Structure 1
């Protein structure tokens, strides 16, 4: 278990606060708090709460649908940590003239579309939240949008979903960039390594479909290569040996895995048992990076594997502060996915700070504006809140996230910032950056 004692000095540096008057305390998970109800998806009010937010007993409650169990749980854990850090930083400042707290009611999507819809319905219909953060899986985020938030007035911000399909739903915002540029970059990486024939297997959902389509189109139509095998696989299977056997029967020299951590762990183990890891070059995307994969596969099973993953501007000071706070509290280095969750919470808090009232419509009016490149660059919640409280408008600030520029466009997408990774001596190593 990671230590729950926050390094307050690091946290206050992250949130932009002076240490003057700071008191020691513990980082509390929202999973252990009682969410404030009645804040109103259609017209809620600030309410009082017994939750110890440290800001005078008043609070705003928003919702989050996250993957706490199931195939996407390794990613959900990263989001939980990013969420906790952002929430603590926001509540050190407080929201509005009465320094209200921000609460987040969290529900588990169980890594399934239906689980996500049920979780979102509970948050919207019972907790009455006007803003919902969620989810990890692209298919889950799309299902929540299509079944729950579309036309409801509730703002939805996905922290991790990358499928190009989200771009066709401009009111569905996201912190992580579209996978379209990543799919193109992955195709170019495989081609640049000298492979002209590849086998691709992809998880059978919106994430896998979207990314594999972009990869195949780029590799064949633009680069002149051949995708000799391009088939889906189902989530949560105990064996994928049939898929691997079919891939091995082609003349592909490279294998591309567009799948999740649990599924790839099974594939990597079965590939190692059959010696495929020494016969074919492995490639992947961001979802084949996870501590659980390394932990549950034998050394050498992935050596030489390469891929493209979303990344953060590691030379940016607020990202470095984020990393410092994360390491201090969890004794590990964060990935960019925790940074996306951090930024999702911060952007949501800025929208609450900037909006005329705590309703979905009012939050929707300002949530894009606080990220616009035309405004003054701000690097944390405190800097942005200061401008707003000094009479500035939402468009006067340009929040620069710990994950990089947010700059939500007309489709709700941020710009892409990627990095090449490889697996060497059973560890992930990171190389060149790619921007879109």
Structure 2
């Protein structure tokens, strides 16, 4: 774990220092700066449950009930995909995390302006490593709130093995599987894939009567493919899973080609899709069918590692931010200034997950999982006054308002966590032209 010196750190310096697997503490002037059990104390109660009552490893100086206990630092955890199939999305997460912490620590938590910090651990994009990372954060670091994860299967495994039965709060930054809706204690910033699966089925059905589907064999793939198959009005001639992290998918592609499907839907991750595209291109399949996908087949790493023309006119549905919203435009401008590229909605989801955690910390009576559970949904609900920054939310709370007086409208759109922990969502149609992703119509789900 790594913690930097807190003196004389500029915002730009701060944004360059966030690393994997370390303690991230961000500030602008006075602060600093994309499977199952491993510890023997597991089971469904997640071990010791320290996250439910601990102080996140922070030094407590007073217990005044102002923004939680008066502490020098409030530390939460994040399980992110820093390596593995979802690493391209983990990198986007990390950038959103950095910007959120910079904005939060420009203001600080509580009347003493305490630091807000994140201990980040790598899921390696697989369930087992994700569970081990979460258990380390909860039982060793004692975090009361856990952001995680990117992959839906990883998020569900963390909830089932580490969080369920404890007071620890879990907010997934990126998971979209409809399966998460069945676990109300597992909240998320990205919307359920149910609306996306229906929209994808309608999109494919506009031009095709017969489709072949392959989906990655985990909770993400299962959930989205089930919705698609139930919603598609034509013939699903092939509907078969594929395993993650394989060196070749020629067998799957050959079976899809043997059908009379004129459209192929590939519900998978960036690494797997890259292999499929290259192997299909070698076999000339790209000239025989049209490709369709979802959000996990949108990544620069895909176009960088495939041949021009190999997925021309591919079409799909992806989550989107409300790009006309002022708060998103401000976020995008700052993102481009700091990182030299436009953000994706996945960076915005990570930003919002961290910001909601900070607002809940400000609003709670104390910095424990139980206290955070009481307020984390309330600070996102439409009954409160709409705010778009941590600073504005804090102003309401300092002026005597309670959690229900705050309605955080995220840079990714309205958060409004419902009884299942799901937010509403925005989706957008994309297409690949000249080996470049182009984005078109919006869909509200």
Q: Where does structure 2 lack aligned partners over 5 or more consecutive residues?
A: 1-8, 26-48, 61-69
The reply to whether residue 255 of structure 1 matches residue 268 of structure 2 is no
Alignment deviations for residues 356-397 of structure 1 (CA, whole Å, 9 cap, x no partner)? 000000000000000001111101111111001100011101
After the TM superposition, which residues 53-202 of structure 1 pair with which residues of structure 2 at under 5 Å, given as runs?
58-192=72-206, 194-202=207-215
- What is the TM-score of this pair, normalised by structure 1? 0.90
CA distance in 2, matches of 1:87, 1:343: 11
Partner SS state of residue 299, structure 1: coil
Alignment deviations for residues 312-351 of structure 1 (CA, whole Å, 9 cap, x no partner)? 0001111001111111111111110000000000000001
Shift of residue 425 of structure 1?
0.4
CA distance in 2, matches of 1:40, 1:30: 26
From 1, 20, 31, the counterpart of 2:19: 31
* Corresponding residue of 1:383: 392
Provide closer, same or farther for how the CA distance between residues 24 and 238 of structure 1 changes in structure 2, counting only shifts above 3 A.
closer
* Corresponding residue of 1:330: 339
CA distance in 2, matches of 1:34, 1:340: 21
The reply to whether residue 41 of structure 1 matches residue 51 of structure 2 is yes
Partner SS state of residue 255, structure 1: strand
Whether the 8 Å CA contact 1:69–1:108 is kept in 2: the answer is yes
Provide closer, same or farther for how the CA distance between residues 24 and 128 of structure 1 changes in structure 2, counting only shifts above 3 A.
closer
* Corresponding residue of 1:11: none
The reply to whether residue 218 of structure 1 matches residue 231 of structure 2 is yes
- What is the TM-score of this pair, normalised by structure 2? 0.88
Shift of residue 35 of structure 1?
6.4
CA distance in 2, matches of 1:395, 1:103: 25
Shift of residue 247 of structure 1?
0.3
After the TM superposition, which residues 196-345 of structure 1 pair with which residues of structure 2 at under 5 Å, given as runs?
196-219=209-232, 223=233, 225-345=234-354
Whether the 8 Å CA contact 1:203–1:260 is kept in 2: the answer is yes
Shift of residue 242 of structure 1?
0.7
Shift of residue 278 of structure 1?
1.4
Provide closer, same or farther for how the CA distance between residues 202 and 25 of structure 1 changes in structure 2, counting only shifts above 3 A.
closer
After the TM superposition, which residues 347-426 of structure 1 pair with which residues of structure 2 at under 5 Å, given as runs?
347-426=356-435
CA distance in 1, matches of 2:11, 2:228: 50
CA distance in 1, matches of 2:228, 2:72: 49
CA distance in 2, matches of 1:42, 1:226: 49
Shift of residue 26 of structure 1?
1.5
Partner SS state of residue 26, structure 1: helix
Provide closer, same or farther for how the CA distance between residues 61 and 308 of structure 1 changes in structure 2, counting only shifts above 3 A.
same
Provide closer, same or farther for how the CA distance between residues 24 and 203 of structure 1 changes in structure 2, counting only shifts above 3 A.
closer
Whether the 8 Å CA contact 1:60–1:100 is kept in 2: the answer is yes
Whether the 8 Å CA contact 1:130–1:360 is kept in 2: the answer is yes
CA distance in 1, matches of 2:79, 2:189: 15
Shift of residue 25 of structure 1?
5.0
Shift of residue 31 of structure 1?
2.6
Shift of residue 27 of structure 1?
2.1
* Corresponding residue of 1:52: none
Provide closer, same or farther for how the CA distance between residues 397 and 24 of structure 1 changes in structure 2, counting only shifts above 3 A.
closer
Shift of residue 42 of structure 1?
2.5
Shift of residue 57 of structure 1?
8.7
CA distance in 2, matches of 1:42, 1:380: 27
Whether the 8 Å CA contact 2:408–2:414 is kept in 1: the answer is yes
Shift of residue 275 of structure 1?
1.1
Whether the 8 Å CA contact 1:30–1:104 is kept in 2: the answer is no
Provide closer, same or farther for how the CA distance between residues 377 and 34 of structure 1 changes in structure 2, counting only shifts above 3 A.
closer
Alignment deviations for residues 148-203 of structure 1 (CA, whole Å, 9 cap, x no partner)? 000111000000000000000001000000001100000000011x2010000000
CA distance in 2, matches of 1:69, 1:412: 27
Provide closer, same or farther for how the CA distance between residues 380 and 211 of structure 1 changes in structure 2, counting only shifts above 3 A.
same
Alignment deviations for residues 118-176 of structure 1 (CA, whole Å, 9 cap, x no partner)? 00000000000000000000000000000000011100000000000000000100000
CA distance in 2, matches of 1:415, 1:178: 8
CA distance in 1, matches of 2:151, 2:54: 29
CA distance in 2, matches of 1:109, 1:42: 22
